[in-house]
Structure 1
Amino acid sequence: MVLASAAVLLGLGYWTYRAVEGSVRELRAASMKNLLDSEVNSLQVWVREEIGDAERIARDPRVRDAVAALLRVALSPQRSQAELCAGPARAALEVTLRPLLREIGDATFNLISRGGRLIATRFVEYCGLRLNAERFLPLLEPVFAGESRFLRPFNDADRVAAPARLRRGPPFAWIATPVRDAGERVIAVLSIAEPADAVFASILQAARPGESGDAYAYDEHGAILSGAWAGESAPLHARRGGGEREGVVLDPYLNHRGVETIGVWRWLPEYGLGVAIEISAAEAYAPLRYLNIAFGVVFGALVIAVAAALAAGLSVLRLRNQVGEARRLGAYALEERIGEGGMAVVYRARHALLKRPCAVKLLRPARANDETIARFEREVQLASQLAHPNTVEIFDYGRTADGHFYYAMEYLDGITLAELVSRGGAVPVPRALHVLRQLCAGLAEAHARGLVHRDVKPENIMVCRRGGEYDVVKILDFGLVKSIAEPHSRDLTRTLRILGTPLYMAPERLRNPADVDARADIYAVGAVAFFLLTGRRMFDAPDDLALTTRVLNDEPPRVAAAAAQPVPLELDLLVQSCLEKKREDRPQRVTDLVEALEALTQEHRWTQREAESWWRARPPPR
């Protein structure tokens, strides 16, 4: 009987080991694919933005005239090489391009004729040389046909045919765009250089997983194009199938540093390169080391293993009872689940002694690691510093004996702005002004304390009935709040790249999530105002990538033109100023918005009688 039990336990243990091993591998593959998706998305957004900048420069009439003048010199048999490379036409082109390139943060350029001749470059010694006819010039055929392209990083030895002296330094990627004459015919190609070790490399490195992870780009021959290992061969490239464009390698292999790793890759034919993410097998499968130890203990002491398994099963059952259908957390009796997200669940609750209704936000046990716990604590600690009546009030924060983190806040009898517009369409101007003034007043206190909310959107703003008053605004969810008063504080959201809703995110946050100040919240207020007054989204797009591109490049429509109701000119201009692409063109302080909105409310009043009538006619769902 004992031997039979031991055999059953050993078989069960082996089956468990294989199942957990498979789960770990699947989870690791899924997480790395998600990182790769984020990396490719960031690269595509950057390329689209850089192409847009290059096309704007190439369309500039001054640039077109300067290029045409230089081409006449290049094509004239009476003009010398010196006149082409150092003459007044070349100087005029550089004077025209220099401020335009400086605006987009670039300095190096090439101007290429149809035959592949470099007729103007930053490096004078390259002027007059020809592009490599086998490796580089064919990549420009679509550009000469009228289509802008991103060209992967190339060393000059592969890009230029037999240069006398090669420039030393990192390879350059190129943004190539056609230059047209007055008849819209393509007469040349303007290529703007992007150093492979600058923004291009930083976008890739932003997706590095764990402590040992690496992310890089490689060419069709498997040569690494970015980072300190540029030029080395990527073994992951050799594992590509003939027609495959993406894959995951979960069996360890030796990478270019001689370390056993696993990896995920994707080939991007439109860019002529692949992107890969790798992590050491030791780190990726670290949980299995502990499983091996546990399996050894089971093998050596079956009785202890059985007892531990029973204890673990009881613990899991108890946790499930407390968290899945929990009725009590500390001093709070949970009554009903009223909301949930990826990180936490929100319950309507009641204090056991005070009998006061409240809302309890509970961190999901499955998501409770050092990072998420730190973010959860940070959210409640920063939010509890705020005392403005338009900010949700925090009552309590705690941890149960079983290790569950939660905090209690005031229970709000109301609806979000998203629900308000969904139920009734565009909000009348007086009521919208009443809501926006309270929203800005609540943000003003946070900004005064050096806190930027970073997630102002209709879903995080409620209008409520409270203390006999109607249409009281409450700002919710400080999960993405950032303190700019402490410049050296750690940003716990930085590893997740872009967090938030792109439609309500300022352009500078989409370009660099770490580059944020109070003016990012002012942009979000403008987007919320547009939504309230028009009853629709500011931009429509099929996916987040297209939406991000529109936020970065398209001018938002005017509220007065998009709204079905009359919108005062002063309010129209105020919303437009909040939505400026450059933050220095927006109102600089949210208190400026408060003053402007207060002045408008004097002319367009929303009374408590009107608010009460609305609430009595349309009570929010309980």
Structure 2
Amino acid sequence: MSRSMSRTGMFLKKQLWIWPVIAVVVLAIIGYAVRSAVESTMKANLATELQTLLAVDVAALETWLDQQLSIVGAEAQDADVRKTVLELTDEEKQPTGPALVQSPLHKQLRRELSPTLLTHDFAGYLLFDQSQRVVSASNDELIGRNGLSQFESNVSRGLRGETTLCPPFASPVVTKDRDGKLRTGVPVMYLCAPVRDDSFQVVAVLALEVRPDRDFTRILQLARLGETGETYAFNRDAVMVSNSRFEDKLKQIGLLTDDDETHSMLNVQLRNPQVDMTAGERPELRRSKQPLTNMAASAIAGHSGVNVEGYSDYRGARTVSAWTWMPKFELGVATKMDYAEAYRPLNILRWTFWGLYSLLGASAIAIFVFTVIVARLQRTAQKAAMEAKQLGQYSLEQKLGSGGMGVVYKGHHAMLRRPTAIKMLDVDKTNEDSIRRFEREVQITCQLNHPNTVAIYDFGRTPEGLFYYAMEYLDGIDLQNLVDRHGPQSEGRVISILTQVCGSLFEAHSLGLVHRDIKPANIMLNRRGGVPDLVKVLDFGLVKAIDEARKGQTSSSGGLTGTPLYMSPEAIQRPDSVDARGDLYAVGAVGYFLLTGTPVFRSESVVELCRQHVLQAPEPPSERLGRSVTPELEAALLACLEKDPSRRPQTARELAVRLEKCATAHEWSMEKADGWWSRYSSGTLTATLNSSASRSGFDQTIIGGKVVNGD
């Protein structure tokens, strides 16, 4: 976890453009949480406001209607009115036909009701007998009529002794509208009360006319929410029975006829056009074929409710609303507000967050583009430095080799003038992981002082961003090239080489470090300071600390790491369990290669090669060569190649001691080595520091399960 956090920190430190992206993500999470909280609060508050406003409007309407009904009830029980009504409804005395209009009793009832009509602003009256015939009315055209459909249910209830409201309907006779014009179809509303005789029996129903476009509508329009809020009433046919505040807009969108005599009362049915007519859209279905709005359907079914999620109203516009049904008066009342206005603060908040997202996104893009431009300029500068053959204080001469990660040049220090091998990261392959491996290789190699380990002189980074380190220049040949060019080596020379390798590894193992990539390409053979066949172990880039406490400073495993041709079984099966004995397995495999000229196992497939290392017993070198090999040497090599680490030599020094006890250990003398170097040094050997990046086959390094060329 610590390592992951460290790498994440390095990445965030280098990749500045990622911070605005992180900010966008964090802001998105915060924005979503804030928006959800604000939306939830707004919905709860909006529902409360709608229901409160509806309750106030309904209470005011009920109070007014109850007051009006009490006036009608009191008038129906007035002694003089009752006396006149009883005479008018007396079948024996009741006139018929035209005589009914001219009846003195009819005129007398008008006089008796006139004070009440004037005082309480009633527009007229009707008197129904028990057969629901109009026996008296303020409008002579209605006298004598039977079975007015608009009154049937209310007169029936009145005859049963109930005081009722007859919701607004279109007048069937000529009546003055609110502008004083005489016409039919004017909205009228009646309050009905029973008239009783002396024995308390209902003999007639008195109905007083109320103009619904006056107090009735005004009460519903007293309170509202916002600019688009309104409260209206509707009947059981889902027809609006109060006037809308927005009649001009209803005429603009085609819901009302565009003339001065048409009003929304009784002319607007609460049906969902299924398109937003306020946006200029036109419904495909006729009004009568359209479904009722969700609110109207719920209210007519007798339910009260509130909807703050939004639904399409009679205009098709998204609306929030609260509603209730008043069974006593057979009316529904709804208060509503446009969804856009109701959630305008939420939309402002949403657009604010979107603006911040856009700014942060633009910042991320700008920083990313800037980073790319800077990276390209840096790479250009790096390549220019390479072309100039100058790396800090080092002057570069010829290229010695290249690998999967680095390039090696021969050069010299500007002041010391000492030949130096300078290894640098490939410009085109520089990344966080390669820099980390490169730095780790230098740091670990610097801890090692054994003469058979390559020495590091310097490490740094140029102003152009080129990472490099300088090490001793080795004018020799690696073991891979040695065998490729000169074939299998003598037993004495193999023992000499392996003993020196063991010396280098023993120091590393003593410090708790495992090389993990011992192979012929990582072992150089040199003639230095008059000493021929001096071995130098290279490439500690994959080194691993055995001590868990030092893992944070060195390489971590967790994946297949090493070169398949020289990889121990535990490195294949349990990479994290590799210890010093894994390096000794590789030393045995290198010795086998030097002695026979061929690897221990060969295959066209990496998978098959790994399987052989894990399961297959190696062929003894004597059988591979077809001739005898010193038993002690063969036994030492096969001991190193044991599948079980516990059966191998346990330390590099133990292996070195075992090799020195071989009968042929001292056959390769200094004189023979000098002779060999004298014969082949002129034009034959090349300063070779690159492993085998240009070779085919499986002489490659696997890091974390991926095959890469060696360094």
TM-score w.r.t. length of structure 1: 0.49
